[in-house]
Amino acid sequence: MMLAPHPFGTDIGTAQLLSLFSDKKQWEDRYRQLIQLSKQLPPLPEALKQQQLELKGCENRVWLGHQRNEDGTLHFYGDSEGRIVKGILAILLAQIEGQTPQQIVKLDLMQLFDRLGIHQQLSASRSQGLDSLVNAIEKIALLYI
């Protein structure tokens, strides 16, 4: 049973994200799209907002959890108190959901943020938060290799 289901990686994947952002030429439009994505990521139940799932190094509080599926793929779930960070988390989840640990460590998780025109527009603190999320995901994947 999935602890915290979400549409990212199943209904919403990388191709859909590229399509959503393709006509967003201004940063403000990309910002609004990130907020829309954050609204599609269901909030984590309070029971899953455990201290051991809270990431350090992020401006807003961020939780990232995972579970290993029977087929060896990983299911990640998370939440953030900040809308932009939650949108960033949604993009990451779209890339990694249902992937094996081996597939995840081979991904360049930052590349999609560059392709969407988001990475270069992030403030230093949000960029640091993105780095913290990516590092946490890679560290989790490496636990299973």
Question: Tell me, what's the pLDDT at 10?
Answer: 85
Q: Report whether CATH 3.10.129.10 matches the domain 14-143.
A: no
pTM: 0.94
Pick from 96, 100, 103: nearest CA to 137 = 96
pLDDT (tens digit per residue) in 99-123: 999 999 999 999 999 999 999 999 9
Tell me which amino acid residue 39 is: K
Question: Euclidean distance between the first and final Cα of the chain, in Å?
Answer: 23
**Do 39 and 91 meet the contact criterion of CB atoms below 8 Å apart?**
no
Does position 1 have pLDDT exceeding 80, yes or no?
no
Per-residue pLDDT of 63-82, as tens digits, reads 999 999 999 999 999 999 99
Residue 86 has pLDDT above 80, yes or no: yes
**How much is the pLDDT for 134?**
97
Two structure tokens written together for 12: 């919403």
**What residue spans define the domains of the chain?**
14-143
Q: Is the pLDDT of residue 58 over 80?
A: no
Catalytically annotated residues: 58
Q: Following DSSP, what letter does each residue of 34-93 receive, concatenated?
A: HHHHHHHSPPPPGGG--GGGBPSS-SS-EEEEEEE-TTS-EEEEEEESSHHHHHHHHHHH
| Residue recorded with tokens 């946490």 | 136
